[in-house]
Amino acid sequence: MKQSIKILWRVFFIGLAALILLILLANWGALGTMPSISDLENPTASLASQVYAEDGTLMGKYYLEDRVNVEYKDVSKHIVNALVSTEDKRFYDHNGIDTYRLLSAIATLGTRGGASTITMQTAKNLFTQNWGTKNIFLRSLQKLKESIIAVKLERNFTKDEILTLYLNTVAFSDNVFGIRNAAKTFFQKEPDRVNIEEAATLIGMVNAPSLYNPRINPRKALERRNTVIDRMASSGYITPAQADSIKKRPIDLSNYRKLDETAGYAPYFRMVLGEEMKKWCKEHKKSNGDNYDLYRDGLKIYTTINPRMQQYAEEAVAKHFSYMQKILAAQDNIKNGSVWKGHENVLEAAMKQTDRWKNARKEGVDEAEIRKAFKVKTPMKIFAWNNNRSIDTVMTPYDSLRYCRQMLQAGFMAMDPLSGHVKAWVGGIDFKTFKYDHVNINTKRQVGSTMKPLLYSLAIEDNGFTPNTMVQDEQQNFGQYGLVPATTASVSGQTMPMAQALAQSRNGASAYIIKQLGPKGNDGAARFAKFLKECNVQAHIDPYPSIALGTPEISLTEMMQAYSMFPGRGFNVKPMYITRIEDKNGNLLQTNISQRREVISDVTAYSIITMMQGVMNFGTGQRIWRYDVEGEIAGKTGTTDDNSDAWFMGYTPQLIAGVWTGCDDRFIRFNSTALGQGSSLALPIWAYFYSKACSDKSLGIDTKSTFVKPEVMTNDIVVDWMKNNATDVTDEGQQGNGTSADYGDENIVPNAKPQDIAPESQLPSDNDKNTSPNGTPAKPLPAKPAQTQPAIPPPANNTKPKAVMPKKP
């Protein structure tokens, strides 16, 4: 043998040995981490956690990559056929590596296509962190690892299982991952309902998701879809005639809808839920000892939110505020800007917290120049009360800050008074622009006269008072703790039954009652503060006599729990919004039950109910009957000093709901008490919501249901006297002149009428298949117009109360 041939053979065998060694080293993990047999048998990818309403409606997701797994049987054959014919036509014939395709790629240096098979791409998606590099050496090592993993996948999985793994992990356009999310996003269909042209469009994306995005590049996407159609025809999956017919059709994206943090369902609720779930994940571990990850582990979170009630709540807030905001904007100190005199620091802080300011400072722009830029008129999109909740305009960034801060805000919650299941949650007027939630337990505002029913219930429970007990509506002296009320402006000096005092929200009577709870100056206040803790009010409450008038700052969530003991026949129930949590495979991780505790007797509860019905029939809540509501309703209005906060807490035998309204900055408020009080600003939202909820027969609200009188009560509570003493009460604790019609808002601002505005939530819909994960039908809701992202970020302010999410452990 010639020396040259010997050298050639030595080189060949040395090269072969080196290749084998390289393969072994790669397999052993010497060239980078390789999946174990256990990893291969249980492949994982980042999965979006999903939130479901009580009827199975998908409310939203938490994700880094928007991905949800689907089984092979739930994938249309058209998707599988399009994938195989386009990406790997010999898929069913090779064992993970297509030798012919590999040799062709080497010979042409990849100019006629790469060597990756579907199995290799699956390996890349699952186990190699989707590396991307132009370095030939690193890319070669990448391909080697993919090939080794591909062979192992072929040994551990069937072809159908590998296809499923690929379809569940591949990236589609618009940062959507997995075939189920892609089908839902682009066509609002489950993947088993996708037709041939839709399947071709979806599979056409995977080669280059950005380039072949049908929303951004419709022409290129159409060309790519038709290429996939041709390949399906050449592979025999469809006939040439079918291909020619389909290629003539345009790509239909009329049902496109992408679910994100703002466009999902009940966004304020999902924000609070997400923070709670993060805490839950840190407290619970998977079988491998790792903590759950909300954004990667595909948890399924089932909630109590009722889609229709949520929709009606959002519509109620929008309808009332669409014209109350016009009235506030027409107020002189708002129009001329004098409301900001002495509060310039608020706008200063808000300005410095905007992205505009921060980005300019990073670029080294002088503060004086930045301030000048904030005074230059600029085209922008701002919040407005219309179906899109936005409008294009031209104004200075500085004025846009003032504009946003002058918006009325609201917090609304509705729940079942027995189970505590939260049915609706509206944390503000527009989550895209104003992300500050006004419902959660960490957002606290002064509660005003809504405190009084709690005080009255303690007087009945501990001191033997009854609705007919006579009380004095006079200023009370608490010695070193001062006079309550601070002035005599809101007292009548009369002696009256306690029921009348509550109906007319008499401040002096509340001071008199708290004084009766303890023999010394502050004893009654201390007893009442303790009672509030028993009602599970977690807010810090200083035990001063003034708490009888509602000076403490308490969250709407806490007030809902405290009030639940009235329709709950003495049992207080904690608001509950998670029923169960499952892992990605449907295994139950946690189930929740209602937390109820008896706080007062059913006799006391019924007594308060009767008096609060008097509030609605003869007192500060009379306005309720101007709206289309009927049946037994009990409630209480509340207004704080200078109309900074307006409340209404109301309930029926089947439902309890609470409303807080006001501006985030307390100095921005209605100057007119007739407009800024609870009965004008908060109560109508409750009424609009309840009217729609009662009209929806699917919700099962019976307006003929009544509060149950305890059997031990032998005597009726006498309130007939109020029919002869009823007056139109226009202020919390003060009687006004005239009737409620005299304060009609349309008389102040011409053409200011309530508007029917679409709800904020973008509700998922599916014309072909609309079922929950367990297969039960999910009732479709009316779709709403698409929304666009406003250009102005939500303004911040150091002085406003901040919604503090649950602390991280």
Q: Residues 717, 468: contact at Cβ < 8 Å? A: yes
Residue 394 has pLDDT above 60, yes or no: yes
Q: What is the strand order of the sheet 588-591 is part of?
A: 58-62, 49-52, 300-303, 578-582, 588-591
Taking residue 501's Cβ as centre, other Cβ atoms within 10 Å add up to 30
Which whole number is the average pLDDT over 764-790?
36
Strands 571-573 and 656-662: unpaired
Q: Lowest-confidence range among 29-43, 44-58, 190-204, 327-341?
A: 29-43
Neighbouring residues of 43: CB distance < 8 A, sequence distance ≥ 6: 35, 126, 127, 165
Q: 419 in helix, strand or coil?
A: coil
Top mean pLDDT of 91-105, 133-147, 175-189 is at 175-189
Bridge partners (DSSP) of residue 426 are 412
Gyration radius of the chain's alpha carbons: 33
Q: Provide φ and ψ at 596, rounded to 5°.
A: -115, 145
Neighbouring residues of 3: CB distance < 8 A, sequence distance ≥ 6: none
How crowded is the C-beta side of 556, counted as CA atoms within 13 Å? 31
Place of tokens 């689907």: 70
Which whole number is the average pLDDT over 744-759?
69
How many Å apart are CA 613 and CA 748, to the nearest integer?
31
How many Å apart are CA 676 and CA 408, to the nearest integer?
11
Place of tokens 């080697």: 144
> For residues 400 and 144, which has the higher predicted lDDT (pLDDT)?
400
> For residues 707 and 122, which has the higher predicted lDDT (pLDDT)?
707
How many Å apart are CA 684 and CA 710, to the nearest integer?
31
Residue 56: alpha-carbon gap to chain centroid: 16
Q: What is the DSSP string of 467-525?
A: TT-EEE-S-EE-GGG-EESSSSTT----EEEHHHHHHTT-HHHHHHHHHHT-SSTTHHH
pLDDT value at residue 601: 96
pLDDT value at residue 25: 58
pLDDT value at residue 136: 52
Structure tokens at 646: 């307006």
Residue 120 has pLDDT above 70, yes or no: yes
Dihedral of the alpha carbons of 478, 482, 486, 488, in degrees to the nearest 10: 50
How many Å apart are CA 444 and CA 647, to the nearest integer?
12
Structure tokens at 36: 């174990």
> The pTM is what?
0.80
Structure tokens at 100: 């012919």
pLDDT value at residue 800: 33
Residue 496 has pLDDT above 70, yes or no: yes
Top mean pLDDT of 156-165, 250-259, 467-476 is at 467-476
Q: Residues 742, 518: contact at Cβ < 8 Å? A: no
- Helix, strand, coil percentages, rounded to 5, for the chain: 45, 10, 45
How many Å apart are CA 182 and CA 188, to the nearest integer?
9
Dihedral of the alpha carbons of 73, 79, 84, 86, in degrees to the nearest 10: -170
Top mean pLDDT of 99-108, 140-149, 730-739, 742-751 is at 140-149
Please state which CATH number belongs to domain 67-258. 1.10.3810.10
CA dist 807 → 280, 320, 428, 686 (Å): 12, 34, 22, 31
User: Over pLDDT 70: what percentage of the chain?
Assistant: 80
Residues 34-57 pLDDT 10s: 665 555 556 666 788 999 999 999
